[in-house]
Each structure stands twice: as C-alpha cells, then as structure tokens.
Structure 1
Amino acid sequence: MRTILLPSERKDFLKKLFTIALPIGLQNLISSSLSFLDTLMIGQLGVTQIAGVGLGNQIFFLASLIFFGACSGATVFVSQFYGAQKYKSIQHVMLISFIVSLCGALVFAVPSVFFPIFLLRLFTTDMAVIEIGRQYLVTVGASYLLSACSMVISFSLRATNDAKSPLLISMASLGTNALLNWLLIFGIGPFPRLEVYGAALATVISRALELVLLIWIARKRKSPASFHLSQAIDGFEKSFLKQYMKTCLPVMLNEFLWALGMTAYKMVYSHMGTDVLASVNMTNSIQDLFLVFALGIGNASGIMIGNQIGKNQKEAAVRYAKALLFASFACGLFFGVFMASFSSLLPRMFNIPENIYEMTRLTLLFLSPILIIKSLSITLIVGVLRGGGDTRHALKIEMICVWLIGLPAAIISGLVLKLPIYYVVMIVSLDEFCKVLFIIPRIISNRWVNNLTEIG
C-alpha cells in the first residue's frame, strides 16, 4: 500500500479509511451479530422455526436491496457533491431516494401483510414452515417503510463523512431488538411468551426507534444529510432527475436483480430439503459476521473515491482504488482463516440435529477461502465502480455472473447432480471469481472514473 499512494496521501488515506470503514464495519458487525443472535434464539424453538423465519426474512432481504440500491446509487452523488461542497444538491438526491425507497417498500409491504402465504409458497410447499413464515411476515411487513427512510438518512450521513452517528444509532436500535427478542420470544418475567410473533414485534419496535434517532441526530448536528423538504424542492430540475436516474437506475436494478438471484439460490436450497434450508440460513448468519469489515471497506471505498472525484482529483482516486483493493484482499484473507478456525465451534451453538451440524460445519469450511474473492468483488463493485459513477458496467458484470454462471451452477449441482450442500455453495461461488476477473480490465483502463458534480 505504501508504494501505491503518494507520501503526502498516506496519512489522509489511513485516517479516512479508519474513520469511515471502521464505523461502517462495526455497524455491520453489530447488525450481523444480532442477526446471528436472533437466529440462535429462534433456533432454540426448532428447525421449522429457523426455516420459516429465514424465508420471512428473505422477503425483507428483497425489499431492503431496493432501498440499498437507491441509497447506494445516491451515495455516488452525495459523496461527490460533498467533496464539491454542493450541499443543496444533496437535498435533491435525498428527495428522490426517499420517493424511490418508499415505493419499493410498499411493493413488498402490501403482499407481506395481506398475502403472505402466496409469497411463501414461492419458496416451499412445507405447510409447517409456511405457517411460521406467515406469523412473522404479517407483523414485520409494515416496518419496511421505516427501514426505507432509515437507510436513506443513514447512507447520506455516511457519504458526508459521518459514519459514527449511524453506528451509535444502530447500536441502540439493534440492542433494543436483541433485548426485546429475548423477552418476547421466551416470555421472560412479566412478558408473554410470543415465540415467532415476539421476534417480529421486536423488529418493528427497533426499526421505529432507529428512524426517530436518525432524524433527531441529523437535525441536532445540522448535517448536510438533515433532510428539509422545502430545500429539496427549491431549484429542483428535471435535468437533475434524468442524470440521477441514468446513474442510479443501474444500481437499483443491480441490487434488485442480484437479490432475485440470491432468492433463486434460496429456492434451489429449499427444494433440497428443510434441513438444507435451515443449514444455509445458519451458515449465512455466521458468514455475515466474517464479512462485516469487507463490507465496511467496500462502502468506505465508494465514499472515499467519490470525494476525490468530486474534488476533481482523478489521479488520486485511481491510487485510492488500488490501495483499497489491497486492503480488501488482506481483510478477506484474515477473516477467511478466522472463519475456518471456528467452523466446528459456531454451529454447536444451535439446537440442531447432528446431520445439520455436520452440513453447516463443512459449508463454513468450504466457504472460508472464498471470503478473499468476496471481499475483492465487494470493493470492486460497491466501492470502485459505483464510487466512480460507472454503475452500468457494474450492473452488466454482476448480472452475467449471477444469472448466467451462479444460478445455473446451483441448479445443476443442487437439483440435477444432487450434490451435498457444501459442494453446491462452493460451486456457486464461481460467480464471485468471475466478477473479479471481468472487472479487473475495466479498473486497469481507468474508464470507470466519472465526475458527476457538474449536474448539481
């Protein structure tokens, strides 16, 4: 890394990396840890409950990827506008992000609340699993609207170099969620034993708390990410909307189609059996713990690179990209070794039969070396290409790899050849290798660098 950056850049680079990536990574760690804890608590109720709540969360996963797509695309603009000190344009970006995210939330909230069985039948025919998923969805569905608004504010705060506030609020919200889960799932003290319904209720309350705190902290600190409708509407032009959609629509499509691809993977796994589905849900919860800092570096990359491009420092942005790829490789290597070391211990924490334990242990072991490639692909797509405004190329690469490589690999290995799940997930990971291979030439060419601040 020392040979990549100029001597005058190293101190500022490391300061930004730690002040942005570390809080984002810690926020992801808290979120993933509590998601793991949720799965662990639900797991005490049985395998059917793990599978049912896992499918219920898959619907939110699809919805959240629309929010993430809108907000991730918006971050491209917000980070560059912040670097160029065009704060009014940040309000315009947030207005569009709120509208898009809330529309996406409604698309999933309405069927989740009113037609949950229809949604769940897309994944499984096991009526016991469907009933558990229904109990969860009808309660948690309305909270999608809360999450949509929270994500817009949280991402905007990060893009204006305030990653600390979302971290602290996430700690409060997710801590509340964990506590309420414990009280309401198991009926501790004066609280009733609500099991799956209790988990859903805890989620709704914690998401409402998160939104209230985000609005409050943004206003209190007079952040450029504090949303004011009057400022957002004033001076808004159609040409801005056109350029915004040109850049952000590929990101939204990317995230949504990627999420559909991940959902299709989950459908393949569910047709391999309820035991396999439960094992995959546990594996994902554990793996997410080891990816949190890779995600932190990836998200920080987009902000850091966007800030440099907004300042019209394109050569510095290119050097930042190379240094951030080095950091993501080191992160993936470290946590891959760590996950392999604990692959036998972590599944023991769940109340599961021996055959599911063995499936989960081997799946974690097989996925450990893949963490290096996943870390690189996250930084390349979420950080470098999007931070540089090259969102259409990112969309193209990811869709080819997920839909034309990963999904056929899952179907053939899982449903045709009927291989064990640990072989299936390793074969499916070919999509991550291909992403890295296909993007590297684009990075070398420097055609990914685009300054978007002229439209503001």
Structure 2
Amino acid sequence: MKARRSTELVEKKDFYKELFSLAIPIGMQNLLVALIGASDALMLGRLTQDAVSAVSLANQIAFIMSLFSGAVVGGGGALIAQYWGKGDWTMVKNLFCMLIKWAFGISFVFFALAMFAPELLMRIYTPDTALIKIGASYLRAVSLSYLFTGVTQCYYLIMKLEGKAPKSVLISVVTLITDVVLDFFLIYGFAGVPKLGANGSAYSTVVVELVALIWCIAESHRGESIRPDLQGFQWFSIDITKDLFKIALPMLGSSLAWGFGFSMHSLIMGHLGSDATAAASIASVAQELITCVCKGISVGAGIMVGKLLGQNLFDKAKEYGKKFCHISIWAGIIHMALLCILGPIVAEFFVLSETAKHYLVIMLVFSAFYVFAYSINTVIVCGIFPAGGDAGYDALSVFFASWCFALPLALLGTFVFHWPVIVVYILMCADEIVKIPWLYPRYKKYLWLNNLTREESSEMVNA
C-alpha cells in the first residue's frame, strides 16, 4: 500500500512538474504577446478614441490570418508531439519544414491583401470614413510583419517540444520591451522622431516580429536543436499530408467559425458607433490578458497527452485527461476572479467618453462569466481532443453555439430590433457559455484516445 501511494505521489509530482514547465512559460509568452497588443491599444487610447478603434478593426485581418496559420501549426503540432513521443526525429524535422512552408504561404496571401487592398478590408468592418482612413494606412504599414508571424509560430512550437519554452518567453520579453519603446517614440514623436500616430504602432510591430523570427532561427542552430534543412523542404508524403489535414482541416473549420464569429463582433460593434467599438476593444484586450493561463495549460495538455498517445500509453493518457478536466475548472474560477479584480483597473487607463466608460464597465462584468466558460472549453476542446485527432467536435460546437445562436440574435438585435448596445454584446459573447453542457458527454466517449503515428517509413517519398 505504501509503495503504491509512493508511486502515485511520484507520478503526480512528475505530472505537475511537466505541466508547469510547459504551461507557465507558454502562458507567460501568451501574456507577453497580449501585452504587446495591450500596450499598442493603451498608447493609441491616450492619443484619440478613433485611433484605438481603427487599429482594433484593422487588426482583425491579422487575427483572421492567425486562424489559418494556427490551424496548420496546431494540427502539425499534434502530429509532431506523437512522433516526438515515438522518437522519430526525422519525421519531426520533416513535419517542421512542412509547417513552415504552409505558414509562409498563408502569411503571403494576407500580406498581399493588406498591402494592396487595405481600404476594401476596412470597409468590411465599418462605414466610418475616418476609421477607414486611419485603419487602411495602418494595414499597409503593418502588412510586412505578416510574412514573419506564421514562420515564428512554427519555431515556437518546436522550442516548446524541445523543452525550450523559457527561451520563447525571453524572446517575447525582449520584443515586448522593444515594442513599448518604439511605440513611445513613433506614436507620440519624441526626441525628434516624427509623430506617426497609428502608423507608428504598425512600424514597431514590423520590427518586433522580425526580431523574434531572427532570434528563433539563431536559436535553432544552437546545440542539437531541430532545424529545417533542404532535404526537409524537399520532402513530401501524401499519407502524412493526409494525416496533417485530418486534424488541421477540422481545426481550421473551428478556427474560422469561431474567428469569423469573433470578427463579426467587431463588425457589429463598428455599426453601433465609436463608443461601443472602443469599449468592446478594451474588453477584448482584458480578456486576452486574463486567459493566457488557460491557453498555456491547453498547449501543455496537447503536448503531454500527445506524447503518451504516440507511445500507446492509453490508460495514462486517459488519467492525464481527467486531471486536465479538473484543472480547467479551477483555471476558469481563477480567470473569473482576476477579471473582476483587474477589469475596473484596466478601464481607468483609457481616455474614453462617459458613454464608452459606462459600456466598458458592464462589458467587463459579463466577461467574467465568459472567461470561465472559455477556460474550460479551451483546455479540453483545444488541448485534449486534438492531441488524439478528435478535432471535429470543436468546429461543430462553434457552428451551433456561435452561428446558430449567438450571432443571429446579435445581428437581429443590431440591424432589425435596435436593441441596446449591452444587450447585443451579451448575446455575442454567450456562445462559450452555451457550449458547456455538451462538453463532458463528448469527453467521456474517449474519441481522442488515438495513436496517429505511422509505422512504415517506406511510405515517405522525396519530391
């Protein structure tokens, strides 16, 4: 009995040690990335309300791009984690190269759109000519950063698998500091630097994304790190590509359904006026800052469960899944408490009209319930399920919760019934809460307990 209890304590200690080694650095990195967005919003918010509103709408383009690249990197990450657990380092490197090619291709498309058709993109979100002018100029300036972002995410993925998550945090710390310093000079025009306003924020973004990519490439050439090479870029396998898209396409469907829905939030708020847009933008920044912990736990869950599945340790993977379910609930409670405490503090840092301040306070109160549900859904649906290939449920739940419930009501409330701004906002954000009752029954089916790796290396062919 004592030996069994001792073994359980050791396993529990190992579990939390591995989780913390992944979740804390990844959560910190997500927080630092969110802080970059928050610092931009804060400095622009001290400039004019139109500036923060226009940049918030313009950044929806980068957000949509991240949905495409995130689905590819996320799907590839599930496969790489399992091959990593299996010890197939050649396949890990080949998959890494495949992800870089896909991520760069996606980034290039969005770069071209933002560079050559920014006014058209802005008109999708707002009819306000002042916001369109500011946002279009910002998009053209920031578009170059899109070419770097997707590739950097591929490097971050490998660094996490290699146990170098703290290094990615260091990169994010340096880029955050660089971004804040550059924003200070470029937005406001101190020390003889021209005052560029919103465009100053765009130029600082280009610089920090380039710095992050160069640093990641340099880090991959240190020691025995996995790094891309010519053979990896030339490698191609139909079977492995099919495996990738079996996971990535449902994740993409889910990401697009959720992301376009989230982007529709900006469209709806944009048609409700500058006060509503500014308040919702700041509430979104607060949500991003608060939910960094659950995103770190979600990535950690995917990596830890994926490695076990790649080794056919199904019972242990099931045990880990149960632990992550419990952790997700506690994460939700912590996020709710943090938003209640920090939300009112965040509101004081922005120059807003009295109407916008009133909107913001009420939005932050409802956001506390939103982040609780979001935390649970993120850890289980975006962490545990895709680790074993069950990526389809997320797309299904998002479709029904967002597109069949929350968004239709919000659109009707905005354009037909002209409901108050706060009522429309609550309806928009109710989708995460609606998903909760259906989540646990899906988990108990254990459709995510799958080994996705292939045994036959002869199936791999070079291009």
**Both proteins in one fold, TM over 0.5:** yes
TM normalised by structure 2 equals: 0.93
Match of 1:28 in 2: 30
Alpha-carbon distance in structure 1 between the residues aligned to 2:255 and 2:147: 18
Listed as ranges, the matches of 1:301-316 within 5 Å are 301-316=301-316
Alpha-carbon distance in structure 2 between the residues aligned to 1:221 and 1:361: 50
1:108 aligned onto 2:110: yes
TM normalised by structure 1 equals: 0.94
Corresponding letter in the other structure for 1:353: S
Contact 2:370 2:430 in 1 (8 A): no
Listed as ranges, the matches of 1:241-280 within 5 Å are 241-280=241-280
Match of 1:229 in 2: 230
Contact 1:367 1:425 in 2 (8 A): no
1:12 aligned onto 2:14: yes
Match of 2:174 in 1: 172
Match of 2:460 in 1: none
Instruction: Report the CA distance between 1:418 and its aligned residue.
Output: 3.2
Instruction: Report the CA distance between 1:6 and its aligned residue.
Output: 4.3
Match of 2:461 in 1: none
1:423 aligned onto 2:423: yes
Contact 1:124 1:267 in 2 (8 A): yes
Instruction: Report the CA distance between 1:229 and its aligned residue.
Output: 2.8
Corresponding residue SS for 2:283? helix
Instruction: Report the CA distance between 1:8 and its aligned residue.
Output: 4.1
User: How many residue pairs end up in the alignment?
Assistant: 451
Alpha-carbon distance in structure 2 between the residues aligned to 1:100 and 1:437: 36
Instruction: Map Cα deviations across residues 60-118 of structure 1 (whole Å, 9 max, x no partner).
Output: 11111111111111110111111111111112212221222122212211121111001
Q: 1:276–1:221: structure 2 CA closer, same or farther, 3 Å change rule? A: farther
Contact 2:98 2:233 in 1 (8 A): no
**Structure 2 unaligned residues grouped into runs of 5+:** 458-463
1:82 aligned onto 2:84: yes
Corresponding residue SS for 1:453? coil
Q: 1:47–1:69: structure 2 CA closer, same or farther, 3 Å change rule? A: same
Corresponding letter in the other structure for 1:279: A
Match of 1:55 in 2: 57
Instruction: Report the CA distance between 1:162 and its aligned residue.
Output: 2.7
1:118 aligned onto 2:120: yes
1:43 to 29, 42, 45: 45
Match of 1:322 in 2: 322
Q: 1:390–1:285: structure 2 CA closer, same or farther, 3 Å change rule? A: same
Instruction: Map Cα deviations across residues 261-319 of structure 1 (whole Å, 9 max, x no partner).
Output: 21122211211112111111111111211111011111111111111111211111111
Match of 2:216 in 1: 214
Match of 1:190 in 2: 192
Q: 1:98–1:134: structure 2 CA closer, same or farther, 3 Å change rule? A: same
Corresponding residue SS for 1:423? helix
Alpha-carbon distance in structure 2 between the residues aligned to 1:128 and 1:70: 36
Most deviating of 192-201 and 446-455 = 446-455
Corresponding residue SS for 1:384? helix
Most deviating of 267-276 and 334-343 = 334-343
Instruction: Report the CA distance between 1:242 and its aligned residue.
Output: 1.9
Instruction: Report the CA distance between 1:232 and its aligned residue.
Output: 4.7
The two structures, once aligned, show a CA RMSD in angstroms of 1.8
Match of 1:149 in 2: 151
Instruction: Map Cα deviations across residues 182-215 of structure 1 (whole Å, 9 max, x no partner).
Output: 1111112132211111111110011000000001
Most deviating of 340-349 and 302-311 = 340-349
Alpha-carbon distance in structure 2 between the residues aligned to 1:431 and 1:47: 28
Alpha-carbon distance in structure 2 between the residues aligned to 1:155 and 1:240: 18
Instruction: Report the CA distance between 1:365 and its aligned residue.
Output: 1.1
Corresponding residue SS for 2:348? helix
Corresponding letter in the other structure for 1:253: G
Most deviating of 413-422 and 302-311 = 413-422
Most deviating of 390-399 and 360-369 = 390-399
